[in-house]
Amino acid sequence: MGALRRPLGALPLRLLVALLVLLAAAAAAPTAAAARRDADIVLVGGGTAGCALAARLCAALPSRRVVLLERGPPRNGTEEFLVGVAVPRRGLWQQYADDWLAAAERAGLPSVSEAGWPQPDRGAWVHRLTVDAAGRRRDACSAYVTPALGGACAHNLRVVQGVAVTKVLWDDDRAAGGAPRRPAAGGRRRVTGVAYVMSTDRDAARPRVRSLRARLAVISTAGAVGSPALLQRSGIGPPAVLRRAGVPPRVDLPVGEQFATRPLVGVTHSYAGGTARLAVENNGSVVASAAARRAWEAGRGGVLGVAAFAGLGRVPDGDGGYVSATFTVDPAPGDRRFRTYCMTNTASSGQLAVVDGSPFTPPTVITNLLGGGAAEVTTMLSCLRRVAAVGDAFAPRFAMRQTEPEPGRPLDEAYVRDLAGSSAHFVGGAPVGAVLDGRLRVRGFHNLYVVDSSAIPSIPPSAGTMASVYMLAEHMAGRLARVFRPVGA
Do the Cβ atoms of 304 and 129 come closer than 8 Å? Answer: no
Q: Which residues 268-327 are close enough to bind ligand FAD by CB under 6 A?
A: none
Stretch that binds ligand FAD, among 66-74, 185-193, 291-299, 316-324 (CB under 6 A): 66-74
Task: Work out whether the CA dihedral 80, 82, 85, 91 comes out positive or negative.
Answer: positive
The CA distance from 425 to 261, in Å, is: 5
The CA distance from 245 to 234, in Å, is: 12
Q: Which residues 337-366 are close enough to bind ligand FAD by CB under 6 A?
A: 359
Decide if residue 465 touches ligand FAD (CB under 6 A): yes
Decide if residue 66 touches ligand FAD (CB under 6 A): no
Decide if residue 223 touches ligand FAD (CB under 6 A): yes
Residue 339 Cβ, how far from ligand FAD at the closest point, in Å?
14
Beta strands in 363-455 (DSSP E): 364-366, 401-404, 421-427, 448-450
Decide if residue 55 touches ligand FAD (CB under 6 A): no
Residue 475 Cβ, how far from ligand FAD at the closest point, in Å?
14
Q: Mask: binding to ligand FAD, 438-457, rule CB under 6 A, as x and -?
A: --------------xx----
Question: Which phi-psi region, left, alpha or beta, contains residue 381 (left: φ > 0; alpha: ψ -120 to 50)?
Answer: alpha
Among positions 49, 86, 365, 459, the unique one binding ligand FAD when judged by CB under 6 A: 49
Comparing C-alpha atoms, which of 249, 250, 239 is closest to residue 171?
A: 250
Stretch that binds ligand FAD, among 8-16, 223-231, 236-244, 338-346 (CB under 6 A): 223-231
The CA distance from 28 to 25, in Å, is: 5
**Position of minimal CB gap to ligand FAD:** 47
How many Cβ atoms sit within 10 Å of the Cβ of residue 398? 21
Residue 178 Cβ, how far from ligand FAD at the closest point, in Å?
27
Among positions 61, 92, 124, 164, the unique one binding ligand FAD when judged by CB under 6 A: 164
The CA distance from 199 to 186, in Å, is: 35
The CA distance from 321 to 126, in Å, is: 21
Using alpha carbons only, what angle is made at residue 247 by residues 259 and 447, rounded to the nearest 5 degrees? 70
Q: Which residues 466-485 are close enough to bind ligand FAD by CB under 6 A?
A: 466-467, 469
For 32, phi then psi, to 5°, come to -60, -40
Decide if residue 266 touches ligand FAD (CB under 6 A): no
By CB under 6 A, the count of residues binding ligand FAD is 29
Beta bridge partners of 218: 42, 448
Q: Which residues 410-429 are close enough to bind ligand FAD by CB under 6 A?
A: 424-425
Among positions 40, 42, 43, 48, the unique one binding ligand FAD when judged by CB under 6 A: 48
Q: Which residues contact 384 (CB under 8 A, 6 or more apart)?
A: 265, 267, 342, 411, 415, 416
CB nearer to ligand FAD: pick between 55 and 377: 55
Among positions 230, 236, 255, 260, the unique one binding ligand FAD when judged by CB under 6 A: 230
Q: Which residues contact 198 (CB under 8 A, 6 or more apart)?
A: 162, 163, 164, 207, 208
Q: Which helix (H) or strand (E) holds 51?
A: helix 48-60
Decide if residue 222 touches ligand FAD (CB under 6 A): yes
Residue 11 Cβ, how far from ligand FAD at the closest point, in Å?
51
CB nearer to ligand FAD: pick between 165 and 265: 165
CB nearer to ligand FAD: pick between 224 and 400: 224
Task: Work out whether the CA dihedral 84, 293, 89, 264 comes out positive or negative.
Answer: negative
Residue 162 Cβ, how far from ligand FAD at the closest point, in Å?
9
Helix (H, G, I), strand (E, B) or coil at 59: helix
What secondary structure does DSSP assign to 306-327, as a single string?
S-S--EEEEEE-TTS-EEEEEE
Q: Which residues 83-142 are close enough to bind ligand FAD by CB under 6 A?
A: none
Residue 270 Cβ, how far from ligand FAD at the closest point, in Å?
24
Residue 472 Cβ, how far from ligand FAD at the closest point, in Å?
9
CB nearer to ligand FAD: pick between 377 and 450: 450
The CA distance from 156 to 387, in Å, is: 50
Residue 25 Cβ, how far from ligand FAD at the closest point, in Å?
35
Residue 298 Cβ, how far from ligand FAD at the closest point, in Å?
27
Stretch that binds ligand FAD, among 27-35, 40-48, 84-92, 176-184 (CB under 6 A): 40-48
Residue 456 Cβ, how far from ligand FAD at the closest point, in Å?
8
Among positions 72, 273, 321, 457, the unique one binding ligand FAD when judged by CB under 6 A: 72
What secondary structure does DSSP assign to 229-255, as a single string?
HHHHHTTBS-HHHHHHTTPPP-B---T
Amino acid at 481: A
CB nearer to ligand FAD: pick between 268 and 465: 465
Decide if residue 70 touches ligand FAD (CB under 6 A): yes
Comparing C-alpha atoms, which of 447, 451, 454 is closest to residue 474?
A: 451
Q: Mask: binding to ligand FAD, 180-209, rule CB under 6 A, as x and -?
A: ------------------------------
Contact residues: ligand FAD, CB under 6 A: 44-50, 69-72, 164-165, 221-224, 226, 230, 359, 424-425, 452-453, 464-467, 469
